[in-house]
Amino acid sequence: MSTESYAKWWIKTKKGLENVREYDEAMKKMESVKDRSIASRLIGGLYARYCMIIQDIDACLDQMCQVQKSFTIRKLMDAAATRLNELKDEMTKIDLSEYHYIDGALVELKVIPHSVEILHPAIMFPRMGNIEDIIIKFRKGDIVESPSRVKKKPSAIDNLVASGKASLHAMQSQSNVTGSNQNINASPSKKSLKAKSIVRMNASKAGLKGAASKGKVDGRASKADINKKQSRVQIMETPAQDAQTQKDEKEIKPDEQKKKRKRTRPKTYMLDTPVLTDEEAEAKRRKDEMISFLKVIQTHERGRQARLYYTDLEQANKARKTTTSNKGGGSDQDDKDIKEKAATKIQATWRGYKVRSYLKKRELEKRLLIGMDESSWKSKEEFQKFRSNLEKRRAIRDKNFRDYLQANIDEKDRVLRVIGPGLFEDIGDEIREWFRDWYDGAKTFMEIPGEEKGGSILIVRGETLTPAEFLIDQEMKKKSKKKAKTKEQIAKEKKAAKEKLKKEAKAKKEKERAERRKRAKEFEIKFDEPTVAVQKFKTGFDEYREIWDPINDADNPLDKHYMHMITDEKCYEMQLEVREQVDILMRIELEILDEALQKDKWLKKKKRKGKFKPKKKKKKKKKGKKKRGKKDPTASRTAEDLFQELVDYGIIRNYPPVRISDFKGDFSYQNCEKRELTFDPPPTLGDVRQAVTLNCIMPLGVETLNKPKSVLIAGPRKSGKHLLANAIFNETQCVLFDLSPTVIAGKYEGKKETQMLIHLITKMSRMLQPSIIYIDGAEKNFYKKIPKNEKELDPRRVGKFLLKKIIKPITPDDRVLVLGITGQPWAAKANGIKKAYQRVILIPPTDYGSVFLYWREILMPYHGVDRSINLSAISKLTEKYPLVELNKAVKEALYPKRIVQLSYQPLQQSELLAPLLEGPGPLTDKELQKFQKWYTKTVLGKQRNKLNKFNEVMREKLAKANEKKNKKKK
């Protein structure tokens, strides 16, 4: 698709989003609903609309090559995703389940469940250039090295500050002439030195460039051998090599040597060729001789059989010729008639066969056209072209993004160089004029507002006191002092106010408890509750109307960035940065003026005693305890160094390419009706796929969202837990931190080292976000009793810090997720695993619909399999079998020879059942009951269990009432 096509698609999508917003606002005027089924249908309709519009915005955003416009569209995408998340939470409150059925709303919208399924969301944020370079190098298999330290040149703002200080020194020298024998310069000079250390300007951000070095550095083996998993070379270190290595280390210059770390990185060793004993060598020689003898025998036997076959064939041909030549009698006319009849018969048979084949082919094409049958081969050429076009546009988008970042850096330097000096003086003159107004109006000077309040920008806005207001305020204070209350009265008033606040807080808590009890007893959904998404929508739409409505996209066919927007943005940023530095200098200048004013007042006094001592204004102390920031033990190390360390230990690793669509399964088409009848039907595999997308994939693409910090995927054997985990990694394009007990065993041992590991994970996961902290075997962190064969792994080591150190510090702004998978959740302590994971997704056993679709998907690629084969019976028999087992059964049943025979010996369902009967079998009720029993102890499971019991009691009462009515009628 061209840029013009995507532009038209975006215009249509924007109108659709506005229509959905109007429908959403109209729903807020509705009254509250107390019926769960009605509430589910109403909110489900809105939920479906947002699901469909998000897919369109997602596609447009993925292929949007104009970087600045994509930022605005991303805000609308974030708003829509935030609103969808809110609706999903509302649906969870209504259904008390992670799985929702909105068939009634889909019928009204005339769409199918697959239309509202969000697959392959491409809403991930682009990382900064330096971070993306690190990740690209790692995925290519290169070593990530720290860049060499380069001395920074003084920035333009440092030059501006230096010139400002020169003017201050000139002012100080003038004040020295006025005063005699007073060393006033001492204190300002200290402050100017302090200002020198404070005044800094953020230099233009340069991308981190890592150079992958080969060979040995500091006597360490090259890391390329560790990263190349496919071709690992054996590293055999001899005493002579060790001595040579130590010698090389001594020869390196001291300034080139790096600080040795406490932890030694793991080395990879491969076993060499085994040394055989004499007996083993003799046995091997005999085996080789036997194989050679067998090959000779096979060759001679095959030759003998071929000679016999061709001898028999030659004799048969000779006998046939002899018989033909010995035939006598019969006329030529009889032979001609026989030949004509034979030809006619052959022609009739062939023509009938040809017509039947044509009709059969036409019927097959007709069935394929309307989708009643599936073709064994489908052309992927168009799909490949489409994907290649998508990748081309993504490459252009990424290039434009890098050009945009570079243009920002260059423009910032230009603005500082050209506009900075004049702006520095203008702001200084503006503040000095403010000093003059205060001196003329009130004969004093007002303090410049602090940085936390906004600084001198408040002066420009007129949000500070004027001299007249200051004088009025002083008079009011004098009057209030005359009518001042005693200390006892003030203490009593404070005590009464505290008691009043306590009572109000207590009453508020009681009111909230009463509301919770009421909600627990009576269900009610209100549509007019405030939402976070409203403000996001308003900001996004206003920005789009203000900036992009006046711009014609046809004027920029190459989708390059607009330079005037960058200039305006950098001018604004530079003004704020320069103003901060000017405020620091003006505060020093204000102190000098204040001292001079005090000295003038002291000189005007008739009675002067001693030397002049300036009074310093007391700074107001901030209430509350000062929180000391935690020291970063890795502050001196670069991001590349920390990244490579985690890669060497196998904590950061790559993952296989899997998509969420590879998790096969169909939606349920009867669960909606069952839930309306107050039953709790089991979910299907299609429901699991949608729940994973909404809970794990989409939240990592939204900038600020009240997203789940941790998700646990639980399921029986071979249910697809690892496939789902790998699909989440690929869809989010995240950096994977593997904290599985088997991965970190023997690494970072001890309390201090474990704390260092936790620190590295929390620091790097935020630096490289979106990030996923993955734990395979999540129950092992909270084992009730550690098995004997796992005691060496120390699986509880990370579990002690998981909740407090990793999960709780995650904020709504962090795109970090803790993902755990487990096959034995009951083996963990209930409180530990429940508190650690906020959401639990339980994978159900395979259902009839999913199994039927999977059978067709794996059988139809075989050309010889009948298109109308009956799979209903076998689907019913193989229900609750893992899909992996079905795939194995097909591969075992359809071996090459059997595939050839399919043209004349059709496939039977019994052939597919035979391998399944020899396998491990389906999931038993005993296995599934364990998972169900554990799930009912989770927070959401408990609530759903209570609702199920209540519904069961109500159904029994209704059944008894109906029986009584029927008896009365009789």
Three-state SS string across 915-953, please? HHHHCCCCCCHHHHHHHHHHHCCCHHHHHHHHHHHHHHH
- Min mean pLDDT across 142-151, 209-218, 348-357, 745-754 is at 209-218
| Distance from C-alpha of 217 to C-alpha of 195, rounded to nearest angstrom | 42
* DSSP conformation class of 213: -
pLDDT at 274: 62
pLDDT at 206: 33
Q: Give which of 647, 818, 826, 836 is closest to 743, Cα–Cα.
A: 647
Mean pLDDT calculated for residue range 508-537: 77
For 408-426, the pLDDT digits (tens) are 889 988 888 888 888 888 8
* DSSP conformation class of 855: H
Residue whose structure tokens are 């139809």: 860
Residues 6+ apart with CB under 8 A from 410: 204
- 652-653, strands of its sheet edge to edge: 652-653, 735-738, 771-776, 816-822, 710-714, 839-842
Q: Are 122 and 693 in contact (CB under 8 A)?
A: no
Q: Higher-confidence residue: 492 or 782?
A: 782
| Distance from C-alpha of 752 to C-alpha of 741, rounded to nearest angstrom | 18
| Distance from C-alpha of 754 to C-alpha of 802, rounded to nearest angstrom | 11
Mean pLDDT calculated for residue range 713-735: 91
Q: Are 232 and 225 in contact (CB under 8 A)?
A: yes
Residue whose structure tokens are 């606040």: 501
Q: Are 119 and 72 in contact (CB under 8 A)?
A: no
| Distance from C-alpha of 207 to C-alpha of 202, rounded to nearest angstrom | 14
Q: Are 651 and 743 in contact (CB under 8 A)?
A: yes
Asked if pLDDT for residue 179 goes beyond 60, the answer is no
Locate the DSSP E strands across 795-919: 816-822, 839-842
Asked if pLDDT for residue 464 goes beyond 90, the answer is no
Query: Which of 893-896's residues contact partners 24+ apart within 8 Å by CB, and which partners?
Result: 894/862
Query: Which of 788-795's residues contact partners 24+ apart within 8 Å by CB, and which partners?
Result: 790/741, 792/745, 793/741, 793/742, 793/745, 794/741, 794/745, 794/749, 795/741
What the block records as the tokens of 36 is 């769960």
pLDDT at 325: 60
| Distance from C-alpha of 389 to C-alpha of 258, rounded to nearest angstrom | 47
Q: What angle do CA 89, 94, 98 make, to 5 degrees?
A: 55
Mean pLDDT calculated for residue range 629-641: 80
For 183-193, the pLDDT digits (tens) are 333 333 333 33
- Min mean pLDDT across 47-51, 107-111, 599-603 is at 599-603
HSE-up of residue 61 (Cα within 13 Å, Cβ side): 24
| Distance from C-alpha of 127 to C-alpha of 131, rounded to nearest angstrom | 6
Q: Are 160 and 421 in contact (CB under 8 A)?
A: yes
Q: Are 736 and 774 in contact (CB under 8 A)?
A: yes
* Count of helices and strands (H, E) across the chain: 33, 6
Mean pLDDT calculated for residue range 312-325: 78
Q: How many residues does the chain have?
A: 970
Q: Are 36 and 535 in contact (CB under 8 A)?
A: no
Name the 3-class secondary structure at 217. Answer: strand
Under the banding of pLDDT at 50, 70 and 90, the label for residue 606 is low
| Distance from C-alpha of 11 to C-alpha of 17, rounded to nearest angstrom | 10
What the block records as the tokens of 572 is 């604004």
Q: Higher-confidence residue: 111 or 529?
A: 111
What the block records as the tokens of 16 is 């659709």
How high is the mean pLDDT of the chain?
Answer: 79
Q: Higher-confidence residue: 334 or 920?
A: 920
Percent pLDDT > 90 in the chain is 15
Query: Which of 337-345's residues contact partners 24+ apart within 8 Å by CB, and which partners?
Result: none
Asked if pLDDT for residue 146 goes beyond 70, the answer is no
What the block records as the tokens of 739 is 């904290």
| Distance from C-alpha of 420 to C-alpha of 873, rounded to nearest angstrom | 80
Under the banding of pLDDT at 50, 70 and 90, the label for residue 531 is confident
* DSSP conformation class of 113: G
Beta-strand pair 735-738/771-776: parallel
Asked if pLDDT for residue 723 goes beyond 90, the answer is yes
Q: Are 212 and 143 in contact (CB under 8 A)?
A: yes
Q: 403-427: string of b/e by CB count within 10 Å (b at 16+)?
A: ebbebbeebbbebbeebbeebbeeb
Helices (H), 264-380: 278-325, 332-369
pLDDT at 36: 84
What the block records as the tokens of 791 is 């005691």
| Distance from C-alpha of 797 to C-alpha of 778, rounded to nearest angstrom | 12
Percent pLDDT > 70 in the chain is 79
Q: What type of residue is 528?
A: D
| Distance from C-alpha of 758 to C-alpha of 750, rounded to nearest angstrom | 12
| Distance from C-alpha of 696 to C-alpha of 772, rounded to nearest angstrom | 10
Mean pLDDT calculated for residue range 627-634: 68
pLDDT at 520: 58
Q: Give which of 471, 447, 477, 458 is closest to 619, Cα–Cα.
A: 447
- Among 121-125, 128-132, 571-575, name the most confident range: 571-575
pLDDT at 463: 77
- Min mean pLDDT across 59-68, 321-330, 511-520 is at 321-330
Asked if pLDDT for residue 664 goes beyond 70, the answer is yes
Residue 925 CB: number of other CB atoms within 10 A?
A: 11
What the block records as the tokens of 801 is 């810090």
Asked if pLDDT for residue 61 goes beyond 70, the answer is yes
**Cβ burial, residue 224 (10 Å; 0-12/13-18/19+):** middle
Query: 253: left (phi > 0), else alpha (psi -120 to 50), else beta?
Result: beta
- Min mean pLDDT across 459-463, 666-670, 864-868 is at 459-463
pLDDT at 473: 77
Q: Give which of 289, 292, 390, 267 is closest to 2, Cα–Cα.
A: 390
What the block records as the tokens of 961 is 């009432």
| Distance from C-alpha of 63 to C-alpha of 382, rounded to nearest angstrom | 18
Q: Are 710 and 835 in contact (CB under 8 A)?
A: no
What the block records as the tokens of 185 is 């310069």
Q: What are phi and psi of 516, to 5 degrees?
A: -65, -45
| Distance from C-alpha of 672 to C-alpha of 386, rounded to nearest angstrom | 36
Under the banding of pLDDT at 50, 70 and 90, the label for residue 127 is low
Q: Are 749 and 800 in contact (CB under 8 A)?
A: no
Name the 3-class secondary structure at 541. Answer: helix
| Distance from C-alpha of 362 to C-alpha of 372, rounded to nearest angstrom | 14
For 10-51, the pLDDT digits (tens) are 889 999 999 999 998 888 888 888 888 888 888 888 999 999
Mean pLDDT calculated for residue range 799-828: 90
Does this model's pTM top 0.85? Answer: no
What the block records as the tokens of 875 is 């689907």
Q: What type of residue is 559?
A: D
| Distance from C-alpha of 143 to C-alpha of 216, rounded to nearest angstrom | 13
Name the 3-class secondary structure at 388. Answer: helix
Q: Bridge partners of 736? A: 653, 772
Query: Which of 357-366's residues contact partners 24+ apart within 8 Å by CB, and which partners?
Result: 364/867
